[in-house]
Amino acid sequence: MAPVQTVLVLGGTAEARALAAELTERGVHVVSSLAGRVANPRLPVGEVRVGGFGGPDGFARYLTENRVGVVVDATHPFAQRIGNSAVHGAAVARIPLLRLARRGWTAGEGDDWHWVGSLEEAATKATQLGERIFLTSGRQGLSAFAGCTGQWFLARCVDPPEPPLPPKIEILLDRGPYDVPGELRLLDEHCIDVLVTKDSGGTMTAAKLVAARMRGIPVVVVRRPARPVTEIVEDVTAAADWVSARLAR
């Protein structure tokens, strides 16, 4: 009887949790890996590990030592470091790797979007567009706005951010999913005139974009970082089918 192979899902996203559930239902042994940057993360079904791997070489060692047969990178679109380590480490260990990546957002009729390449560029653009800025780009990038002394900021994060921060800022601790009525209330109550976000994609946090369109508020959108080329799907079922096919070989 052949030894049981493990599927390693690099997670922390809704898609990663859905994939872990789907594969577990199919009888696959899944280990979900979380970075450990959120204090109380939503946990997937099955086995979970928390923490880094020690770069590409450490990732390759983990794959070999733990009989990993397939890797699925279902991390956040901006989790560039682990994405790079996964591609290079899987290549060294000769383990097939799939990227499960949600589709990015696309501006529609009535949207006033301003695309930038970094949070530093977002800070420059946002302060040109308004005075009361809603930051939904995550707690780790708030330092890019620390030098903005003339504007007021509302920053929504899952966990409390660490300094440096803008001098005039209110922190809202919350996590999605969000709905349009709630986002409209938030924009109105705080007199927001600019929204800053990363191109995270998906539906859990897209309501803010609809609300901004309805209020005529400009949106500064940070483009996704480049990732190494690998096989990629956008659908959880397609990812589960890909994994099942690889394990059957």
pLDDT of residue 3: 55
pLDDT of residue 2: 47
Instruction: Give the pLDDT means over successive 10-residue stretches in the chain (249 positions).
Output: 78 95 96 86 92 94 96 95 95 97 95 98 98 96 97 96 97 95 98 98 95 98 93 97 94
pLDDT of residue 5: 85
- In CATH, the number for domain 113-222 is 3.40.50
| Two domains, one topology: 6-103+226-248 and 113-222 | yes
Task: Please enumerate in sequence order all residues whose Cβ is within 8 A of that of 103, keeping only pairs 6 or more positions apart, or say none.
Answer: 201, 202, 234
Q: Of 9, 10, 13, whose CA–CA distance to 177 is shortest? A: 13
pTM of the model: 0.92
Give the domain ranges of the chain. 6-103+226-248, 113-222
Gyration radius of the chain over CA positions: 20
Tokens of 31: 């280990």
In the three-class reduction of DSSP (H, G, I as helix; E, B as strand; rest coil), residue 101 is classed as coil
Strands (E), the chain: 6-10, 29-34, 47-50, 68-73, 97-100, 113-116, 132-135, 152-157, 169-173, 194-198, 219-222, 231-233
pLDDT of residue 40: 80
Query: CA 49, CA 10: separation in Å to the nearest integer?
Result: 10
HSE (side-chain half, CA atoms, 13 Å) at 60: 12
Backbone angles phi, psi at 202, to 5 degrees: 80, -175
**6-103+226-248: CATH homologous superfamily?**
NAD(P)-binding Rossmann-like Domain (3.40.50.720)
- The answer to whether 246 and 96 have CB atoms below 8 angstroms apart is yes
